Chain A
């Protein structure tokens, strides 16, 4: 097992270098001089040079590559503070929305998928599957704007937007974002897990279990459910880093000062160090989670052999 993990980690080094190269090429070679983009057209050469020094783009390209590789980023040009500080300040706010949304969404997806798969071909199955496809087809921004307008503006059940520290304030402001984020993301999962569940329900081991007298309910919850969890694992572990980055649209619309809103503002303010930091760090975390998924996969599924 340990040898397998070590080999996986070693095999991911070329990909890690690939991510560094891609980030470097995109932001330090292809992209125009960030000092000029940030400062605008009417700055003197001396001012531009000072800005370049601040952004860390006045050093040779090889040095810039090394800086990305070793996680040395320039300060945010908008906030004038290290990007890591911004990350530590903003990420918990994003997590406060994303973690509850993630677990509620996953739970509902699994429950609904098992429900409709066990009642295949009924009105309930068609209805929920249709709603799931419908949910996947609505543009998320329309969904967010629409619910914000109806429940926040018109019915006034929730505050339209805003944020305040403290648990109960946070709950007050986070409720609607969490609900819409669940509604927006639930469709794809229901449809996918339904297919997975149906494939399991039609397997031989289920027929054997039923034949030897296990009740339909026990078959579904012990035999089928355990096997459905394997694709669930591959689907969910990789998106964990995206919980940190949050949803940039959701946080922008509901005025939540999280990490997603930071990315949004940084794009608008041409704050290149922050944009680069978010793209790079999220990709590294994502890659790491891909490896974790592979390892977990071998743990939960004995059919997967360690090669």
Chain B
């Protein structure tokens, strides 16, 4: 009897289950420009991951110059014995201490990746949890959370980030107790940036998820879950959260662009990454180098940020078109 249902020609087999990730991927690969930006982003992720290895770390502080620190971009490096060899270290020129702009830019990719992932982890967890709770339970919890995000969104975002970074940096300065060495090594002084961004940028996501959950919570399938006696936690995590996944994905790709950009502002204010090279620090360093006509460090960091932002912007818009039928952007 059950054989009829299990047969390959049965109706039940016709539609293979598709996850939201697979749908998104299918849509993205379909269009040439979004496929191109997906490849660019993957390339950045690859470079960033490779820069976690000691191979790159050993090269960021090393001096490659023999006599002049500000060597312009060149294909071949002059070694101590006067011979020349092809070395990527000098491809983007050297900075004011004779350090390789190429390797520092590569290491900056690692920092950007770290900031994007860690910040999104913080902001998405806060935004998703508060949004789910507010939307699902309603009542005074909703009022409280709505008040909280209305307050935070009434402060201009950049100003709030700067204020928070300022306070966090002062705390770190007064508390002389240093962090464990592996944390310092891994984060390279980016904790101020990550916390300042992550603790302030959950507002938009929280508002979107709350709105979506309010729409979802009275739909039949949730009522059915409740009738079957599933616990609130299970309903929220297994049945409502997956239906808000598209919002989280879109937010992740669009807001990570902003994080890289704000990192440059914080670096400029002296509130950014302290101990390791990042794109923001490279731009900050270049303001003195420009006086001597040394443009390559600025150019390297700018192009790195520009290409990544462009790709992530296109990817985010494509994701929004692919995943959110209600937000039909006019093209």
Near B by CB (< 8 A), chain A positions 1-42 give: 14-15, 18-19, 21-22, 26-27, 30-34, 36-37
Find chain A residues with CB under 8 A from B291 CB: 153
Contact B171 A242 (CB under 8 A): no
Contact of B160 with A279 in the complex, beta carbons under 8 Å: yes
Interface size on A, residues (CB 8 A): 52
B272-314: CB near A (< 8 Å → 1, else 0) gives 0000000100011011001100010010011001100110011
Given contacts A253-B287, A279-B159, contact A286 B147 (CB under 8 A): no
A134-B310, A137-B306, A145-B298 given; A15·B163 CB < 8 A: no
**B150 contacts A15, CB within 8 Å?**
yes
Tell me if A22 and B155 are in contact (CB < 8 A).
yes
Q: Does B96 contact A (CB under 8 A)?
A: no
Partner of A290, one of B154, B284, B287: B154
Does A264 belong to the interface (CB within 8 Å)? yes
Chain B residue contacts of A19, Cβ below 8 A: 151, 154-155
Which A residues are in CB contact (< 8 Å) with B171? Answer: 30-32
In Å, the complex CA distance between A162 and B265 comes to 21
* Contact in complex: A18, B154 (CB < 8 Å): yes
Q: How far is the CB of B193 from chain A (nearest CB, A)?
A: 14
Cβ of A282: which chain B residues have Cβ within 8 Å of it? 155-156, 159
Nearest opposing residue in chain A for B156, CB measure: A286
Q: Is the CB of A275 within 8 A of B154?
A: no
Chain B residues with CB under 8 Å of A140's CB are: 261, 264-265
Return the CB mask of A260-282 against B: 1 if under 8 Å, else 0. Answer: 00011001101000010011001
Check A286 against B174 for contact (C-beta < 8 Å): no
Chain A residues whose C-beta falls within 8 Å of the C-beta of B264 in the assembled complex: 139-142
User: Which B residues touch A88, using CB under 8 A?
Assistant: none
Q: In this assembly, does B46 line the interface, its C-beta being within 8 Å of a C-beta of chain A? A: no
C-alpha spacing A193/B155, complex, angstroms? 24
Contacting pair B310 A137 (CB below 8 A):
yes
Question: Is A133 a contact partner of B159 (Cβ separation < 8 A)?
Answer: no
B residues within 8 A CB of A263? 162
Q: For residue A27, which residues in chain B have a CB less than 8 angstroms away from its CB?
A: 163, 167
Tell me whether B28 is interfacial, beta carbon within 8 Å: no
Q: How many inter-chain contacts with C-beta < 8 Å in the A-B complex?
A: 130
The yes or no answer to B91 lying at the interface (CB within 8 A) is: no
Residue A146 CB within 8 A of the other chain: yes
**Are the CB atoms of B170 and A137 closer together than 8 Å?**
no
Q: Which residues of A contact B166 (CB under 8 A)?
A: 267, 275
Structural contact, B162 and A146, CB atoms closer than 8 A: no
Distance between B267 CB and nearest chain A CB, rounded to angstroms: 9
Bound form: Cα–Cα A136–B167 in Å:
29
Known A33-B174, A153-B290, A202-B330; contact A283-B156, beta-carbon cutoff 8 A = yes
Closest A-chain residue to B167, C-beta based? A31
CB contacts (< 8 Å) of A153 on chain B: these are: 290-291
* A141: B residues at CB distance < 8 A: 264-265, 268, 283-284
Contact A32 B147 (CB under 8 A): no
Bound: A300/B169 CA distance, A = 45
User: In the complex, which residue of chain A has the Cβ closest to the Cβ of B151?
Assistant: A18
Does A248 reach chain B (CB closer than 8 Å)?
A: yes
Which residue of A15, A139, A278 contacts B151 across the interface (Cβ within 8 Å)? A15
Q: Does B74 contact A (CB under 8 A)?
A: no
Contact partners of A138 in chain B: CB under 8 A: 302, 305-306
Query: Which residues of B are found within 8 Å of A136, using beta-carbon distances?
Result: 309, 313
Chain B 241-280 near chain A by CB (<8 Å), digits 1 or 0: 0000000000000000100010011001111000000010
Contacts of A199 in B (CB 8 A): 330
Q: Which chain B residues lie closer than 8 Å to A139 at the CB level?
A: 261, 264, 279, 283, 301-302, 305-306
Complex contacts, A145 vs chain B, CB 8 Å: 283, 286-287, 290, 298
Which residues in chain A, 121-167, are within 8 Å of chain B measured between CB atoms? 133-134, 136-142, 145-146, 148-149, 153
1/0 contact string of A164-186 vs chain B (CB within 8 Å): 00000000000000000000000
Q: Does B180 contact A (CB under 8 A)?
A: no
Contact status B298-A146, CB under 8 Å = yes
Task: Write out, one digit per residue, whether chain A residues 105-134 have a CB within 8 A of any chain B CB (1) or not (0).
Answer: 000000000000000000000000000011
- Rounded to whole angstroms, the CA-CA distance of A138 and B155 in the bound complex is 25
**B residues 150-196 touching A (CB-CB < 8 Å):** 150-152, 154-156, 159-160, 162-164, 166-167, 170-171, 173-175
Q: A195-B329, A198-B330 are in contact. Are A37 and B170 (CB under 8 A)?
A: yes
> Cα distance A107–B181 when bound, in Å?
53
Cβ proximity bits A232-253 to B, threshold 8 Å, 1 near / 0 not: 0000000000100100110011
Please state if B159 and A146 are interface contacts (CB–CB under 8 Å): no
Q: Are B301 and A283 in contact (CB under 8 A)?
A: no
Residue among B151, B160, B298 having the largest count of chain A Cβ atoms under 10 Å: B151
Query: Which listed residue, A22, A37, A245, A268, touches B270 by the CB 8 Å rule?
Result: A268
Known A142-B305, A275-B166; judge A15-B330 contact (CB<8 A).
no
Bound together, the chains give a CA A36 to CA B170 distance in angstroms of: 10
Contact yes or no, B309 A137, CB < 8 A: yes
CB neighbours (8 Å) of B121 from chain A are none
22 pairs, CB–CB < 8 Å, chain A vs chain B: A15-B147, A18-B150, A22-B155, A30-B167, A30-B171, A37-B170, A134-B306, A137-B313, A139-B279, A140-B265, A141-B283, A142-B283, A142-B298, A142-B301, A142-B302, A195-B330, A249-B265, A249-B268, A282-B156, A283-B159, A286-B154, A286-B156
B residues with CB within 8 A of A = 147-148, 150-152, 154-156, 159-160, 162-164, 166-167, 170-171, 173-175, 257, 261, 264-265, 268-271, 279, 283-284, 286-287, 290-291, 295, 298, 301-302, 305-306, 309-310, 313-314, 329-330
List 8 additional A-B contacts (Cβ < 8 Å) besides A15-B150, A252-B268. Answer: A14-B147, A19-B151, A133-B314, A142-B301, A202-B330, A248-B269, A249-B268, A286-B154
